């Protein structure tokens, strides 16, 4: 039932909104893996980021794609929790009071292990001024723990202007999703982190 609602939501509202209102363009669509699981990483400036990235997939795949989202924010309040779980199929992770049981890394590994793909914003939160922030180390831990899972870098242009942090009404700006080739980074965690940051910034600078 939940997945059917999500499919209807994306077909009837999200896609027309992104096509007609925003005018979203996608570059490098061929880099999207045809099979799950994979990890899609991107810079983060807007709630529209998750919406735009999910819209790249066929409706029937949506059930297996989990945006990793902060439980303290997205599950706060009944309405927001319902929207997050039903319409966006989030994978809630703890940002505070992390214990062995709710360790985000374990939660994400478990999802990948059952064949679900992740959408992950390694900055951990939405940036304010459009410049991508530094990645938190979690993504490097994940890459190290699951070396067989491809990591697809993405850079999102202008969505942060359409719906920046702290606003509720979207303004139409042409926006773009730029996707890069899948990566299997190796080395130390610092090297992995640097490689992933570099892959995303490279897409930012690709004009």
Partner 1 sequence: MTVPPLTPVLTMSAVVLGLLVVSTLVVWLLRWLRPEGRWDELADRVKAWWVMAAVFLGAVAVHPAVSLVVFALMSFWALKEYVTLLRTRPQDHATLFWAFAAVPAQYWLVHIKWYGVFIIFIPVYVFLLLPVTLVVARETKGFVASASQIHWGLMAFVFGLSHLGYLLQLPALPGRTADGRALVLFVVFVVEMSDVLQYVWGKLVGRHKVLPTVSPNKTWEGLVGGVLSAALLAWPLRFLTPFAPLQTVLVALGVCVAGFLGGAVMSAVKRDFGVKDFGALIPGHGGMLDRVDSLCWSVPLFFHYVYWACY
- Minimum distance, C-beta of residue 130 to partner 1, in the bound complex (Å): 9
Applying the rule CB under 8 A, the residues between 158 and 177 that interact with partner 1 are 158, 161, 164, 167, 169-174
- Minimum distance, C-beta of residue 172 to partner 1, in the bound complex (Å): 5
Place of tokens 């706060």: 76
For residue 133, state whether it binds partner 1 (rule: CB under 8 A).
no
For residue 206, state whether it binds partner 1 (rule: CB under 8 A).
no
Look at residues 48, 30, 10 and name the one whose alpha carbon lies nearest to residue 172. 48
- How many other C-beta atoms are found inside a 10 Å radius of the C-beta of residue 51? 21
> Read out DSSP for 61-95?
GGGGEEEEEEHHHHTSSHHHHHIIIIIT--EEE-S
For residue 25, state whether it binds partner 1 (rule: CB under 8 A).
yes
Classify 10 as helix, strand or coil.
Answer: helix
Whether cis (ω within 30° of 0) applies to the bond prior to 37 is yes
For residue 1, state whether it binds partner 1 (rule: CB under 8 A).
no
For residue 16, state whether it binds partner 1 (rule: CB under 8 A).
no
For residue 102, state whether it binds partner 1 (rule: CB under 8 A).
no
Where does this chain bind partner 1 (CB under 8 A)? 23, 25, 128-129, 158, 161, 164, 167, 169-174
């Amino acid at each position: 039932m939940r997945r059917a609602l999500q499919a209807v939501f994306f077909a009837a509202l999200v896609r027309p909104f992104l096509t007609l209102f925003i005018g979203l363009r996608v570059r490098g669509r061929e880099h999207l893996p045809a099979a799950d699981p994979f990890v899609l990483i991107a810079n983060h400036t807007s709630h529209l980021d998750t919406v735009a990235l999910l819209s790249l997939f066929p409706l029937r795949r949506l059930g297996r794609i989990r945006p990793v989202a902060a439980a303290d924010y997205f599950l706060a309040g009944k309405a927001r929790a319902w929207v997050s779980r039903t319409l966006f199929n989030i994978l809630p992770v703890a940002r505070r009071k992390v214990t062995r049981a709710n360790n985000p890394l374990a939660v994400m590994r478990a999802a990948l292990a059952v064949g679900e793909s992740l959408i992950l914003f390694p900055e951990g939160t939405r940036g304010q001024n459009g410049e991508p922030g530094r990645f938190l180390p979690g993504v490097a831990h994940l890459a190290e723990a699951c070396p067989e899972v491809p990591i697809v870098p993405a850079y999102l242009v202008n969505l942060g202007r359409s719906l920046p942090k702290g606003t509720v009404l979207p303004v139409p700006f042409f926006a773009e999703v730029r996707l890069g080739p899948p990566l299997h980074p190796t080395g130390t965690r610092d090297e992995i982190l640097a490689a992933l940051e570099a892959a995303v910034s490279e897409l930012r600078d690709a004009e």
